[in-house]
Structure 1
Amino acid sequence: MIKSAVTISIVEEARKGPFVFHDDVPAACEKAAELGFDAVELFAPSADAITAQPLDELLQQHKLNLAAVGTGAGMVKHGLHLCDADSGRREQARDFIRGIIDAGAPFKAPAIIGSMQGRWDDMTDKETALGYLRDSLNELGAHAASLGVPLIYEPLNRYETNLATTMKEGVELLAPLTTDNVKLLADLFHMNIEEANIADGLRDGGKHIGHVHFVDSNRQAAGRGHMDYAPIAKALADIGYDGYCCAEAFPIPDSVETARQTIETFKAVFRS
């Protein structure tokens, strides 16, 4: 059965980003549980910032799971990405992600690679960049497997990457990997931009999809845009998806209302 989750960011540089809750992890967990979410997804500035949180206590107290941990602060805060022309910077990026994997693994929470994938540019042509990315996914995917969690790779829209922007391209990116432990994140906002049909895109991802970001066409809470969720739910059922649908949305008009709108739409789509 598909489960619900909601994002919490504790990254100062991402304060204007599409995260439902910001800064106060205990208060966010309390509100998430009160509203009926199954889990939270944490976006933190470092691995140490994750381990510094009293997550064991908070998750047990509120009967929540940790759905995933984000790595995007590596890019937002430190400018690190996996396609950097500088080999030392690429290694720093892998080290940052490895630390996030290690911090999430005790909670069975996979790490998500989104903005840290990088892009090809004048310094690094497309095939070279894809090679760098695949090398990192192989290494980090194997590391995650040793800890009993998958690694999640997120195709982004064309304004955020020029590597894989659709589910089909994501599958093609994963195909040559020597590890089978890297899964795709299907973010409905990015898919709304890049896929001709979101439901068909989900079917393209198929068994490779390991996480979903549940959001509307305008990156607000599900139910506040023009997205049609019926074919999306049908496609997820058709591919046998039973992971998390996590709200990664702008807190408009505020965090609590965004979370409330999300869970109401989630229940209407997946529980009715």
Structure 2
Amino acid sequence: MRVGINLWVWVSPFDSRRDLARIRQAKALGAQAVEFALEEDAVVDPKAVRALLTELDLDCSVIGLFGPARNFASLEASVREAGLEYLRRSIDITAEAGAKLFSGAVWGVGETQVLSAAEREERAKFAAESLNQAAEYSARSGVRFCAEVLNRYESNFCNTAAESRALIERAGHPNAGLHLDTFHMSMEETSLAEAIRSAGPKLFHLHSSESQRGAPGDGMVRWDQVMPALRGIGYQGSLVLESFHPAGRLAPLARAWRSYAENQDELAARGLRFLNRLAASPSAASALR
């Protein structure tokens, strides 16, 4: 397992003319992987990003922002197609930049209506079809595709690892996987370990986020459950620190109303240090809390 960091800790949107220095900083702080998002106004020079990743020997993942207008589970064909078109553009950039994984919360984001069993089934059918197409397009570019599972306050559809795994299996494509996040899991799952086991080999990516979105190790996440479960399923992905700048553009969306450290550099350094120790010695999780 490699330890990584999402550049949202420092910046939003990502601009490679400005933010390649943040990738270097992440490496200096102990990251072996970085992650950036393709917001609408992100500026990405894929060749420059790829060259730097190669120079620093860093893995990279890319996050997409889908929202209601690109919902894979929408009843409207035009909305689903908008999601797939955005995904195709994003995968092209991801592949050119040398990143190996693309993830997004592709279903139910921002939806608040209560769904009947029949309504859930109808949405699941459409979502599975879209997931299959997304996975196939990604596979042709050599990129792993996974869907992020959100909590009930951010999505009304497939909020747990078990139900999301069932939907991924229904999609029927080997390149379709799950992206779990310990922040969301802490709200929805009765056991972090059991959730990870439910995802099993379909767990492609993990955001190692704290319960309050601060530095990992500063909150209530049961890391002593997380690491043994990851080892148990043979997880080969990254542990990516995700947090948000309280003065950043995404702060309202992430409900990041306050600072979680003296500054963002300190949060990143402390969080990466914790995750690296955790990855090196999973049994020490309780001692590191």
The CA distance in 2 between the partners of 1:240 and 1:211, in whole Å, is: 12
Cα offset, 1:208, TM superposition? 0.9
The one-letter amino acid paired with 1:70 is: I
Task: Verify: 1:21 aligned to 2:13, yes or no.
Answer: no
Cα offset, 1:212, TM superposition? 0.5
The CA distance in 2 between the partners of 1:235 and 1:250, in whole Å, is: 27
The one-letter amino acid paired with 1:27 is: A
Cα offset, 1:178, TM superposition? 2.7
Task: Verify: 1:101 aligned to 2:100, yes or no.
Answer: no
The one-letter amino acid paired with 1:83 is: A
Cα offset, 1:232, TM superposition? 1.0
Judging changes above 3 Å, is the alpha-carbon distance between structure 1 residues 231 and 148 closer, same or farther for their aligned structure 2 residues?
same
The CA distance in 2 between the partners of 1:224 and 1:180, in whole Å, is: 36
The CA distance in 2 between the partners of 1:183 and 1:110, in whole Å, is: 10
Partner of 2:170: helix, strand, or coil?
Answer: coil
Give the TM-score, by structure 2 length: 0.81
Cα offset, 1:98, TM superposition? 1.3
Contact in 1 for aligned 2:192/2:222 (Cα 8 Å): no
1:38 to 26, 32, 35: 32
The CA distance in 2 between the partners of 1:115 and 1:147, in whole Å, is: 19
The CA distance in 2 between the partners of 1:212 and 1:192, in whole Å, is: 13
The CA distance in 1 between the partners of 2:237 and 2:79, in whole Å, is: 33
2:127 to 129, 133, 141: 133
Task: Verify: 1:75 aligned to 2:67, yes or no.
Answer: yes
The CA distance in 2 between the partners of 1:178 and 1:115, in whole Å, is: 17
The one-letter amino acid paired with 1:35 is: L
Contact in 2 for aligned 1:93/1:116 (Cα 8 Å): no
2:215 to 212, 221, 229: 221
The CA distance in 2 between the partners of 1:168 and 1:89, in whole Å, is: 26
- When the two chains are superposed, the root-mean-square deviation of aligned CA atoms in Å is 2.3
Judging changes above 3 Å, is the alpha-carbon distance between structure 1 residues 204 and 178 closer, same or farther for their aligned structure 2 residues?
closer
The CA distance in 1 between the partners of 2:70 and 2:169, in whole Å, is: 25
The one-letter amino acid paired with 1:187 is: D
What do residues 244-265 of structure 1 show as CA deviations (whole Å, max 9, x unaligned)?
0101113433321121111111
**1:269 alignment counterpart:** 278
Give the TM-score, by structure 1 length: 0.86
The CA distance in 1 between the partners of 2:51 and 2:41, in whole Å, is: 18
Cα offset, 1:54, TM superposition? 2.1
